[in-house]
Amino acid sequence: MNLDEKLNHWREATETLEPSETLLASLQATIDAPTPPPPSGLITLVKVLIITAIVGAIATGYAVVRSLNIRWSGSSVPVLVATAVDAGLPSCGPEPAPAELFALPGSEVVGGSWEEMRRKQLIDFRAQLEARPLTCLAQRRPLEQLLDMHAVSDAEATRLIARLGWLCGPSALPAYRLPQAEEPGSCDNSDWCRRPGCDLSTEPCALSWADRPATTCTARRGRAIALTFACVRFLRAEAPEAQPRAFARNPWCLDPAAVAEREFLRTHNAVKASP
């Protein structure tokens, strides 16, 4: 059989391929996503400057708090970087105030360790998610806030997101590349390590699906997961089996146990202990 005959066979063998229902649903969801209002140049510039200033202030404050090893006894640090991705997501409308549904317990853990607080919050949060799927913007924020606390291991974040049944592969909204990891030596697996890239202080950065392997390390990956897979539409709880094909191939999902709890704590504690 010569080359042309082989190529012909290949063409015939692949001629009947069709996209799956899951993929088609995802493509339809992309079209159905609302178009964000086109910003004027000046408004865009002002927004970028404001967001940059806020992110810078939060990052500085957070770094100071971490260096002082302050224990959290209240609500988590708001993820203001997520505000810019809010455009296009539906508001929560007449639904009950999310704070009532997703209040992150913290006051009763005063005096406990980061680990204890994380576990309790994660258990509580998961219980609430089991009962109610994320369907709108404000409900997504608690997840991001939880992940942003570096209180969720990669395995937990992966299972949490898988449970939500997010349909997305690449996001229809701009996601954010996270600042360079501040945890030197925390990237034992080069596939997970942050590669040099965007400077968040100068521009909002895109974390596309193609950049997935280059996301940051350890706990920040939880936030990266949440932002990367931010969907305009979320799957309802009644169709949890419709996992995103692309997401199912995410190496963190295929083997969530690959990121051992111990490994996370080891690097987390190393960062806390460092000056």
Nearer Cβ to other proteins (8/60): 8
Nearer Cβ to other proteins (151/175): 175
The 8-class DSSP code of residue 177 comes to: P
Separation of alpha carbons 170 and 229, rounded Å: 7
**H helix intervals, 102-179:** 114-131, 137-148, 154-164
Q: Are 108 and 197 in contact (CB under 8 A)?
A: no
Separation of alpha carbons 16 and 274, rounded Å: 58
Nearer Cβ to other proteins (98/244): 244
Separation of alpha carbons 59 and 66, rounded Å: 10
Closest distance of CB 172 from other proteins, Å? 6
Closest distance of CB 38 from other proteins, Å? 8
Handedness of CA 145, 218, 207, 181 (dihedral sign): positive
Closest distance of CB 190 from other proteins, Å? 9
Closest distance of CB 68 from other proteins, Å? 39
Residues at the interface with other proteins (CB under 8 A): 1, 3-7, 9-11, 13-15, 17-20, 23-24, 26-28, 30-31, 33, 35, 168-172, 191, 208-210, 213, 245-246, 249
Closest distance of CB 102 from other proteins, Å? 28
Nearer Cβ to other proteins (136/193): 193
Cα–Cα distance list, 238 to 29, 164, 184, 232, 234 (Å): 17, 11, 42, 18, 11
Nearer Cβ to other proteins (9/272): 9
